[in-house]
Chain A
Amino acid sequence: AQKVTQAQTEISVVEKEDVTLDCVYETRDTTYYLFWYKQPPSGELVFLIRRNSFDEQNEISGRYSWNFQKSTSSFNFTITASQVVDSAVYFCALSEDPSGSRLTFGEGTQLTVNP
């Protein structure tokens, strides 16, 4: 069975601080796909990134970066120079399907960025 754990329930930072959201996963599959989604108050989940299990390259996209470490089954997400607009719930998810059509989600981390 697959499992995703986000140990940080809530994080509060001041604008311009860097913040890292942790994600640890469990799966027996040798090929799997990891995702991060952002859920603003409007409710819809916004896709941020997908990472394949066979590609351990870290990725940077603007202020966002992701650190995938297969050895520790972790896929952490860092926001650099956080902004108030980054306030949302962030979910890490796992799927055996490359299209992410059947996702196992973590509990989510509520990030609040204060001005």
Chain B
Amino acid sequence: KAGVTQTPRYLIKTRGQQVTLSCSPISGHRSVSWYQQTPGQGLQFLFEYFSETQRNKGNFPGRFSGRQFSNSRSEMNVSTLELGDSALYLCASSLAEGYTEAFFGQGTRLTVV
């Protein structure tokens, strides 16, 4: 069974640009969550999508957005990049039903210069 796949693995962008990250969940998983990991702030929840709808949102500015497609694949977008957006972005998928757990991808390492 394939795990959670995130692309690309590494990305370098310039301040002011925008970026789109992709996450393919485990087959059958309908919930996709995104997290930002930085040395200063640790692991922080960005948002969760379930059945193409944003179900929960963390405390991040509107520059951070996402969407989920009918096949449960998800993308997150960051517009007007700032140096502080440099981070490891992790995606997690889960069944979103019953007692289960979230499975994480290896992340996308974004560097803003």
Binding site for B on A (CB under 8 A): 35, 37, 42-47, 50, 52, 91, 97-108
B113 in the interface, Cβ–Cβ < 8 Å? Answer: no
| Selected contact of B42 from candidates A44, A97, A108, CB within 8 Å | A108
For A44, give its contact among B43, B44, B55, B104 (CB under 8 Å): B104
Q: Do A101 and B42 touch (CB < 8 A)?
A: no
Bound form: Cα–Cα A104–B94 in Å: 16
User: Using a CB-CB cutoff of 8 Å, which residues 42-60 of chain B contact chain A?
Assistant: 42-45, 48, 50, 55-56
A-B contact count (CB 8 A): 73
Shortest Cβ-Cβ A-B pairs, 10 listed: A105-B43, A45-B104, A99-B94, A44-B106, A100-B102, A43-B107, A47-B101, A101-B31, A43-B106, A44-B104
Q: Do A91 and B43 touch across chains, with their CB atoms under 8 A apart?
A: yes
A99 and B104 within 8 A (CB): no
Complex CA–CA separation, A107 to B39 (angstroms): 9
The answer to whether A101 touches B94, judged by C-beta atoms less than 8 angstroms apart, is: yes
The size class of the interface chain B forms with chain A is 20 to 34
Of the A-B pairs whose beta carbons lie under 8 Å apart in the complex, a sample of 18, sorted by A's number, is A44-B4, A44-B90, A44-B104, A44-B105, A47-B103, A52-B99, A98-B98, A98-B99, A98-B100, A99-B96, A100-B94, A101-B33, A101-B50, A101-B56, A101-B92, A101-B96, A106-B42, A108-B43
The 8 Å CB contact of B33, one of A37, A52, A102, is A102
Interface of chain A, main secondary structure:
loop
State A104–B44 Cα separation when bound (angstroms).
7
Instruction: Please indicate the chain B residues that have their CB under 8 angstroms from the CB of A45 in the complex.
Output: 90, 92, 104
- Most B CB within 10 A of own CB, among A100, A101, A103, A106: A101
Q: Which chain B residue has the least Cβ–Cβ distance from A107? A: B42
> Least Cβ distance of A28 to chain B in Å?
17
CA distance A104 to B41 in the complex (A): 12
Q: How far is the CA of A99 from the CA of B31 in the complex (A)?
A: 9
The verdict on B88 contacting chain A, using a C-beta distance below 8 Å, is yes
